Amino acid sequence: MGEYAMKAAGVAYLPKEPAEEDDEYKNRLARSTFINYFERTLQTAAGKVLSRPINLVGADDILKVWSEDIDLEGNHLDQFLKTVFIDGLAYGVTYILVDSLASATPNRTVADDRAQGIRPYFVHVPNKRLINWRFERVNGRYKLTLAVIDESGMVPDGEFDEKFVNRVRVLRPGSYQVIQREPDPNPVKAKEGKTVDVVVEEGPYGDTIPLVPFYTNRTGRFEAHPPLHNLATLNLRHYQSKSDQNNILKVARVPSIVWKRSSPVGDTEPQRTIALGGNQSFEIGPDEELGFLEHTGAAIEAGQDDLNDLEEQMTKVGFQLVARDTSGDVTATENTLNSAEAHAALTAYAENFKDTVELALKHMVEMGGEPNIEPEVTITKDFASTSTATDVPLLLQLFSTGVIDAPTLVAEAKRRGLLGEDVIVSNAVVVPVANTAIQ
C-alpha cells in the first residue's frame, strides 16, 4: 500500500483529532507524506531470493518455452515469481493457480491443443483474492475441494466504455463456475438496489484443484500470519507521527497574532477587522498592543526524536531479514554467525518458494500432457555470499598462492556480486607463481 492508498483510506490510517474541522483535517491529510519502509524491505528480500534467474534444471524444451510467457500475459517466469514472492512475504501466504484454456473443453487431445497454441499457464491469486476454501479428507489425506476466487474488476462495456463487475470463480474437483452479481431483473427491485447471482460460465474441471500455496509464516491450511506485521505497524506509526510533525511545523512557522487592549470591546463600539500580511500596516490606540505568540520548539524536537526512533526500529526489523551487520571490528567467526542468523528466515522462505514453484510446474506439465517430466528449479539461497572487506584480499591471496585457479576466483567473485554473470574467463589465464602473497 503506497501513499495514495494511505491517503485515500483517510481516517482509517490517519485519525481525525477531536474538534478538528473537516477542512483542517483535509489540509493535514494533504500535507502528510508516507515513506514506505515496508515496501522497500519486501523489494530487497525479493531481490535477494531472485537475484539470479531461476534455473529450470534439465527441463524439457516445452517447459522452457512456456516459462518465457508463463501467464500468457507476456511475463517471464522470473518476473511472475517476483510478484508472487512479494505478496507471500507481505501477507504470509499467496497462491499460484495453474489453469488452461482447454481445461473446460471435453474430448480434446494434447495434439489438438498444441496445434492451436492452447496450453497451461500460471495465474497469481493474491492473498486477498482467495475469499473461501474447503478441505476434506479423501482416502485419509486432506484434499482441497473448494476454492472461491474473487475476480471482480473492470470489464469492457461497449466499444469504448468500461464498467465494474462483481464476480467470483468457484472451483471444485470435476467442475467450475463463474458467478456474477447483477441487478435484479425486476425493475422495481433493481431500483431498490436488489441484486441476483447469475452463473455466467460453467463447465467440467480436473479431479484436482491445482492451487498451490506459498507460505512464509504458516498457521494452518491456507492460513498464515504476516511475518513482517511488526514492520507494517511501525511504518503506520511513522506515517501518523510524521503527519503530526508536518502539522506542528506549519503551526510553528506561522505564529499567532496577539492583540492586547486594556478594555474589552463594548456592545456599541463597531467591530474592527485587521488584514494580516507582510505589506500591511496597523493603526492601534494608545491602550492597544500587537504581538506574536510563538512556539517554543520543544514539541518539535520531541516529535523529531520520535520519528528518529521509529526509523531506527524499522531499519533494524528490516535488516534482521535482508541484511547483516558488518560494521566495526568483527572476527571471521562473528561474521559467519551474524550472516547465518540474519539470513535463516530468508533461506527458509526460499526453500518453501522452491517447493511451491516445482509443484506448480508439475501441475503445469501434467495438464499439458507431459506427466513424465519432473520439474526441478534452483533458487538462490546463498545470501551470505555478498562481499565484505576481508573477502577480496583473501581471495586474491588464495589465487596468488595457487590454492585456487582463475576460473574458481572468478566464480567466487561472481557469487559475491563483484563480477557480472556474463564475465568469461579466458583459458589462457596463467596462475601466478606460488608464494607471492598479497600484503
Per-residue pLDDT tens listing for the chain (439 residues): 788 999 999 999 999 989 889 999 999 899 888 989 999 999 989 988 998 888 888 777 889 999 999 999 999 999 999 999 999 999 999 999 999 875 445 667 777 777 777 899 999 999 999 999 999 999 999 999 999 999 999 999 988 999 999 999 999 999 999 999 999 888 888 888 899 999 999 988 989 999 999 999 999 999 999 999 999 999 999 989 888 887 777 776 666 677 676 666 555 555 555 565 556 666 666 777 766 666 666 777 777 887 888 888 888 777 677 665 444 444 544 454 455 555 778 889 999 999 999 999 999 999 988 888 899 998 887 665 555 556 778 888 888 888 888 888 887 777 666 676 556 665 445 445 444 444 4
CA–CA separation, 279 vs 259, rounded Å? 18
In-domain check, residue 232 = no
- The H or E element containing residue 38 is helix 37-49
- Partners of 171 in the β-ladder: 147, 176
- Partners of 257 in the β-ladder: 292
Which cell is 76 given? 517471464
- Cβ–Cβ < 8 Å for 158, 133: no
- Cβ–Cβ < 8 Å for 216, 225: no
Three-state secondary structure along 269-314?
Answer: CCCCCCCCCCCCCCCCCCCEEEEEECCCCHHHHHHHHHHHHHHHHH
Which cell is 4 given? 495514495
CA–CA separation, 228 vs 37, rounded Å? 11
In-domain check, residue 178 = no
In-domain check, residue 379 = no
In-domain check, residue 170 = no
Q: Is 147 exposed, middle or buried (0-12, 13-18, 19+ CB in 10 A)?
A: buried
- Cβ–Cβ < 8 Å for 125, 91: no
The count of structural domains within the chain is 1
CA–CA separation, 379 vs 358, rounded Å? 11
Phi-psi domain of 227 (left: phi exceeds 0; alpha: psi -120 through 50; beta: other): alpha
- The H or E element containing residue 152 is none
- Cβ–Cβ < 8 Å for 228, 38: yes
- Compute the half-sphere exposure of residue 113: CA atoms within 13 Å on the CB side of its CA: 19
**This prediction's pTM:** 0.75
- Cβ–Cβ < 8 Å for 325, 337: no
Nearest CA among 105, 377, 79, 367 for reference residue 210: 367
CA–CA separation, 147 vs 132, rounded Å? 6
Q: Is 52 exposed, middle or buried (0-12, 13-18, 19+ CB in 10 A)?
A: middle
Give phi and psi for 130, each to the nearest 5. -85, 105
In-domain check, residue 133 = no
What's the pLDDT score for residue 434?
A: 45
Q: Is 70 exposed, middle or buried (0-12, 13-18, 19+ CB in 10 A)?
A: buried
In-domain check, residue 407 = yes
Phi-psi domain of 130 (left: phi exceeds 0; alpha: psi -120 through 50; beta: other): beta
Q: Which residues constitute the domain of residue 399?
A: 387-439
Residues 6+ apart with CB under 8 A from 266: none
Nearest CA among 198, 131, 197, 144 for reference residue 172: 144
- Partners of 163 in the β-ladder: 155
CA–CA separation, 276 vs 292, rounded Å? 12
- Cβ–Cβ < 8 Å for 14, 33: no
- The H or E element containing residue 75 is none
